[in-house]
Amino acid sequence: MVMPCLSITQYKVLVALYKSKANNGRQIELKFDINKEDSLNNRFKEIKDLKADAVFSIDDDIIFPCSSVELAYSVWRSAPDAMVGFVPRIHWIDQSKGNVNQYMYGGWWSVWWMGRYSMVLSKAAFFHKKYLSLYTNEMPSSIREYTTKNRNCEDIAMSFLVANATGAPPIWVKGKIYEIGSTGISSISGHTEKRTQCVNRFVAEYGHMPLVSTSVKAVDSRETWFW
């Protein structure tokens, strides 16, 4: 599990929870990486000696039932090169610019309206640990510098990275997650415009648009009327 930050209280609660859930008294290994630099890229910094292949990236204001995480993990195991998450987003060509190389970024309502998505946000997503190394060591450093300077779009950068490596879309899992934070960066005025700028900046860095859109989503058939 990768979380962007933890308070002392959150740390103590997490340790107590892990110990209480240990199977047959087996100790669960916990490691906490304290970063000196204040950068959004720390979220995807390579973790040395990581034993598991799966990384579950999650914001500290997200809560969810275990069944949702188990479903997402089972989906990821069937497609370990894909990014599998709960929060879909979309991009599309900006027709108003008259240029096929200019794109728009859209949030949830755009996904709902279009019935398609091309990204899943890392605020709640599974991906393979190899992408941490690619993000840290092989992704253009100018992208990391851009996210640090603008304090935004590290999640879009990871979506670009995975799509560029796989040539395939992510997988949206329809699960129950809840955001308990009162406000977030997405509530700030101009958020969508800034995200659109990120998309176009990253397209320029890669020299093409790697994101692939899809209408496929994974659902738990036991909890749906139609499937």
Tens of pLDDT, residues 180-203: 865 555 556 678 999 999 999 999
- Does 36 have pLDDT greater than 50? yes
Domain annotation covers residue 227: no
The answer to whether the CB of 120 falls within 8 A of the CB of 85 is yes
Residue 76 within any structural domain of the chain: yes
pLDDT digits (tens, 9 = 90+) for 82-135: 999 999 999 999 988 666 789 999 999 999 999 999 999 999 999 999 999 999
Full domain range(s) for residue 195: 8-220
Band (pLDDT 50/70/90 cuts) for residue 28 is low
Contacts of 118 by beta carbon, 8 Å cutoff, 6+ apart? 89, 90, 91, 159, 163, 169, 170, 211, 212, 213, 214
Q: What is the CATH classification number for the domain harbouring 25?
A: 3.90.550.10
Tokens of 64: 């969810």
Answer with the residue of higher pLDDT: 225 or 122. Answer: 122
Residue 177 has pLDDT above 60, yes or no: yes
Distance CA 67, CA 173 (A): 12
Q: What is the pLDDT of residues 42-96, one digit of tens each?
A: 999 998 888 889 999 998 888 888 889 999 999 999 999 999 999 999 999 998 8
The residues with which 88 forms a beta bridge, in sequence order, are 120
d(CA 138, CA 141): 8
Cα 170 to Cα 10, 187, 213, distances in angstroms: 30, 25, 8
Residue 95 is assigned to a structural domain of this protein: yes
pLDDT bin (cut points 50, 70, 90) of residue 227 is: very low
Number of domains in the chain: 1
Query: Which one of the listed residues 38, 53, 59, 155 is annotated catalytic?
Result: 155
Could you tell me if 176 and 68 are in contact, meaning their C-beta atoms sit under 8 angstroms apart?
A: yes
| 155 belongs to the catalytic site | yes
In a domain, residue 226? The reply is no
Tokens found for residue 65? 């039932």
